[in-house]
Structure 1
Amino acid sequence: MNNKNTFNPFRRLHFYAAWFITPLLLTLTLSGIGYLFFNEVENNIYQNEFFGQSDIKSKQSIDEAIKEISDKYPSHQIGKISMMEEPYNHRVTISNDEGDSRYIFLDSNNQIVANQNAKYTYANFMRNFHSSLFTESTFIRYLVELTACWTIFLIVSGIYMTFKKRLLAIKTEQRTNKLKFQKIHAILGLVIALPLVVIVLTGIPWSVFMGSHISKFGQEHPELGRTELRYNPPQSDVNEIPWATRSLDQPTSNHTGHADHHSNATVSINNPNQQSLEFIINKAQNENIVRPFSIVYPSNEQGVFTVSKGSNTGVTGLDVSPYQETTAYFDQYSGKLIARINFDDYGIIGKWFTWGIPLHEGHLFGMANKILNLIVCIAFLAAIVMGFVSWMKKIKPRNMNWPKRTNKTWSIGVIITLLILGILMPLFGLSILIIFIIESIIYYSTKNKNVSAAG
């Protein structure tokens, strides 16, 4: 890098960005830690829902159970059925037009055990907290994404300043109290730099701007992706169909011989021409789709039964290895398998989503993944605290030690670095453009004043 005014803008941007995004960083990190162990937490607090048995000991079919749920909740529609592996109870998701969603749990006899308001389950609560601070606001989600972008910049600029100031070369006896905390801040930043970048990048599928555009690109280039719809970026609580296949056009059922059906009619679970859920479950198992998996009813008369296994469902007991992901489509009338998409069929974007989301959530490789993410989060929190303490140690009476601005043009090195990051992260690029315009105005106005004063 050309060192002509490189350190000063990096230092100021690093300092002020840290102050600006720290509140959200703390929120995202703490909520992320809370979400890491949602499986373990829910297994303990929802023991009756997950593992309990109904007082009714007689066995009924899964179709009879669906009919019972439909009768009990007439204002709700059946969304999906999650067929769980023992010892978990099966889960039926229902919702109404007002946005109320509930989980209905069925025991081994397919009898109703309990129900939950989906919005207030621990996993969904923490996910909503992490993604939008409970607001479900698009604006807040933009801020979350912008925070993630600036976190990447903090890492890049922090590494540069660490070596530029030769913090690691400072001997113990030479360390002042303020440099001690600054050095700890720098070391922690270096240690967690790579895993933190990975965690941030694997959170991109949820982002409102970059996530949607990457998904759109993957959809427009199926050899690379088959990802989420353009305006609905991936979120682990939206659907249990794997992210990489959710936006595919579903094949339609062949309803030759069903001329008595009208194309504008809504498919009902009581459609006499439709195969039973039990039949579809058996067909899926015959295709070596073993539990846990989810089933989504046909959305219309030409729709199909969709059976899927996902690595990023966000549902306790339902996640599988990325290599086991599959989405199969069954004709609703004949029950015949029409099409099936496996992990090997995904493009690079689809595979990135499939691996990245469970890695971000902490369950890609079991408890070790959770512990690794937890260590990174704790180290990140410690780095934030050490950075704040090192600044506090520099404060003197009547001097807050704000980074002073050098009235020089930014170096080529700074501009190229910010340009690259801005292209890779458009929201970051937009924010940097605004900062650059403000900096230019200050620079030229100050320069002109100095010229006038000299004249």
Structure 2
Amino acid sequence: MSAVLDAPPEVEQRTRGRGTGLFRAFWRWHFYASFLVIPILFVLATTGLIYLFRFQLEPLLHADLMKVQQPPGLVAQPYDTQLQEVRAAFPDATVVSMTEPSAPNRSTVFSVETKSGNRDVFVDPYEGKVLGSLNPDRTVSGVAILLHGELMAGRFGDAVIEIAACWAIVMALTGYYLFIRGRVARARRRAAGAAGAVLRSRHGRTGAVLGLGLLFLVVSGLPWTGFWGAKTQELATSHGTSFWGEDPGALSNPTSTLDESLPHSHAVPWALGKTEVPRSDPANRTESVATVDTAIEVGRRNGLRSPMTVALPSDTKGVFSAIGYAFNNPAQERTLHVDHYGGRVVSTYGYKDYPALAKVVSQGIALHEGRRLGLFNFWLTTVFCLGVVFMCVTGPMMWWRRRPKGKALGAPRGRLPLRTTPGLAVLVVALALFLPLFGATLVAVLLLDQLVLRRIPRLGAWFNVARRHAV
């Protein structure tokens, strides 16, 4: 992802008047892609940083709820006892799930659905008392997640992010071309002590390092998107695979899925997001009725890692779904469905059962979130986010320095020679077909250029449109 929103005078002089050179054409597309991409990338990078540090940040902001002290000699209360306290404190709410404390000094967390929305309820595991509750979508990290996923604007925000992600690919590819082709001119300007030369070089070098990472994050984030992700999932399903796992032992109502059962816990493995939940048989009521403690014990006996999350049955036919902790290793993702009566394991489903595509997506998501390779992945992603913020700041700074003083945008003038460069034409068409929203917005831009900007002289001058017909 190079970064030249401006170019060296040497390059500009060599290409002035020709307008058909790839350098100027790529510079122009890099320039306009940046206008769309930079604001979105800045939001994604900053919210991504907040999400990365959520386990450090939220306990500091809500220590009264999330942190507890273990009294000497006192053991934790049974989870079922804690569950009853939550139900007493929220009599009109439905308790959806429970997550074990992540450390001896942390609270037990229950996710509940109330008439006013979803809340996370925190319980002191030793004294068994309710400490309070939070709206998970209104915490700092909760807001960051919503901004990161859809700009808090629903489907419209999701579409904007997807379009920006598509054009980020264009910005990265054109940036690499500019970085390589413009290296000599940048070196000359640096040696001559030209204004802005150091900033331009730092921007370009940082972009060259970040570009591959940006491409990976864009591609690994596409499965989340509402259009590309949904359509590609449909295509994958029609060919016998899937982005996520579908439990072959599931016998439940098709509308009862894990992601609906745990809407705000963020504890469901990605590949299990659409897994149907098996059902208990009320005919076995004569047997002992299982509790959340039963599900935890069954999970431990079957090798699930703690802290486990348990989705509670919503009715007499429901099951306890015990989800093992697999934060830093998707290959350890595993869920046990425990019968409401007798505590038998109705079915089990995990990473080894995922379709091949779901395994790839799970690993990609873990890398995307900075959790797959431990601290190395965490700090690498942190540095990457900071680098993206740097790029989002220095790019506009370079444009601001070189912008014309008159009433013009200062866009580079250049045309893509698609007719004389078949390989480039094939690449553009391939990107448009692979990324439909990119293709649609590309057509819109070209129509705007041909039908409006070239027909209105003042607009054409402001956008610095080439006079001859071109792409």
Does the CA contact (< 8 Å) of 1:150 and 1:428 recur in 2? Answer: yes
Q: CA deviation at 1:147?
A: 1.3
Q: CA deviation at 1:244?
A: 0.4
The corresponding residue for 1:288 is 303
Structure 1: where are the runs of 5+ without partners? 260-271, 312-318
Write the distance in 2 (CA, Å) between the matches of 1:423 and 1:175: 45
**TM-score between both structures, scaled by the size of structure 1:** 0.81
Whether 1:426 aligns to 2:426 is no
Write the distance in 2 (CA, Å) between the matches of 1:205 and 1:156: 21
Write the distance in 2 (CA, Å) between the matches of 1:335 and 1:122: 38
Q: Percent identity?
A: 21
Q: CA deviation at 1:74?
A: 1.6
**Which of 240, 244, 257 is equivalent to 2:267?**
240
Whether 1:92 aligns to 2:110 is yes
Mean Cα deviation higher: 243-252 or 435-444 = 435-444
Q: Aligned partner of 1:83: which letter? A: E
Mean Cα deviation higher: 169-178 or 120-129 = 169-178
Whether 1:368 aligns to 2:376 is yes
Write the distance in 1 (CA, Å) between the matches of 2:259 and 2:268: 13
Query: SS of 1:364's equivalent?
Result: coil
Write the distance in 1 (CA, Å) between the matches of 2:395 and 2:258: 37
Query: SS of 2:137's equivalent?
Result: helix
CA 1:148–1:249: 2 relative to 1, 3 Å:
same
| Structure 1 residues 326-371: Cα deviation after superposition (integer angstroms, max 9, x where no partner) | 1111121121112212222222332233222232222222332222
Write the distance in 2 (CA, Å) between the matches of 1:249 and 1:400: 53
CA 1:122–1:409: 2 relative to 1, 3 Å:
closer
Whether 1:438 aligns to 2:448 is yes
Query: SS of 1:177's equivalent?
Result: coil
Q: Aligned partner of 2:382: which letter? A: L
Write the distance in 1 (CA, Å) between the matches of 2:68 and 2:382: 31
Does the CA contact (< 8 Å) of 1:219 and 1:226 recur in 2? Answer: no
Write the distance in 2 (CA, Å) between the matches of 1:364 and 1:111: 35
Does the CA contact (< 8 Å) of 2:119 and 2:133 recur in 1? Answer: no
Q: CA deviation at 1:107?
A: 1.6
The corresponding residue for 2:320 is 305
Q: Aligned partner of 2:85: which letter? A: E
CA 1:30–1:438: 2 relative to 1, 3 Å:
same
Q: CA deviation at 1:30?
A: 1.7
Q: CA deviation at 1:296?
A: 0.8
Q: CA deviation at 1:305?
A: 1.5
CA 1:237–1:222: 2 relative to 1, 3 Å:
farther
Write the distance in 2 (CA, Å) between the matches of 1:198 and 1:136: 25
Q: Aligned partner of 2:383: which letter? A: I
Write the distance in 1 (CA, Å) between the matches of 2:236 and 2:281: 29
Aligned Cα root-mean-square deviation (Å): 3.6
**Which of 185, 190, 197 is equivalent to 2:208?**
190
Write the distance in 2 (CA, Å) between the matches of 1:227 and 1:352: 12
Mean Cα deviation higher: 282-291 or 359-368 = 359-368
Q: CA deviation at 1:95?
A: 1.1
Whether 1:151 aligns to 2:168 is yes
The corresponding residue for 1:250 is 277
Write the distance in 2 (CA, Å) between the matches of 1:400 and 1:58: 68
Whether 1:403 aligns to 2:420 is no
Write the distance in 2 (CA, Å) between the matches of 1:412 and 1:5: 15
Q: Aligned partner of 1:202: which letter? A: S
Does the CA contact (< 8 Å) of 1:323 and 1:343 recur in 2? Answer: yes
CA 1:400–1:344: 2 relative to 1, 3 Å:
same
Q: Aligned partner of 2:268: which letter? A: I
**TM-score between both structures, scaled by the size of structure 2:** 0.79
Does the CA contact (< 8 Å) of 1:219 and 1:227 recur in 2? Answer: no
**Which of 378, 391, 416 is equivalent to 1:383?**
391
Query: SS of 1:120's equivalent?
Result: coil
Mean Cα deviation higher: 359-368 or 58-67 = 58-67
Does the CA contact (< 8 Å) of 2:271 and 2:362 recur in 1? Answer: yes
Q: CA deviation at 1:216?
A: 4.0
Q: CA deviation at 1:166?
A: 4.2
Mean Cα deviation higher: 366-375 or 71-80 = 366-375
The corresponding residue for 2:363 is 355
Q: CA deviation at 1:431?
A: 0.9
CA 1:298–1:146: 2 relative to 1, 3 Å:
same
Does the CA contact (< 8 Å) of 1:215 and 1:227 recur in 2? Answer: no
Mean Cα deviation higher: 98-107 or 80-89 = 98-107
| Structure 1 residues 130-166: Cα deviation after superposition (integer angstroms, max 9, x where no partner) | 2233x34220121112112211110001112223334
Query: SS of 1:22's equivalent?
Result: helix
Write the distance in 1 (CA, Å) between the matches of 2:112 and 2:153: 20
The corresponding residue for 2:133 is 115
Does the CA contact (< 8 Å) of 1:208 and 1:233 recur in 2? Answer: no
The corresponding residue for 2:464 is none
Q: CA deviation at 1:224?
A: 4.6
Write the distance in 2 (CA, Å) between the matches of 1:416 and 1:180: 36
CA 1:222–1:249: 2 relative to 1, 3 Å:
farther
Write the distance in 2 (CA, Å) between the matches of 1:237 and 1:100: 8
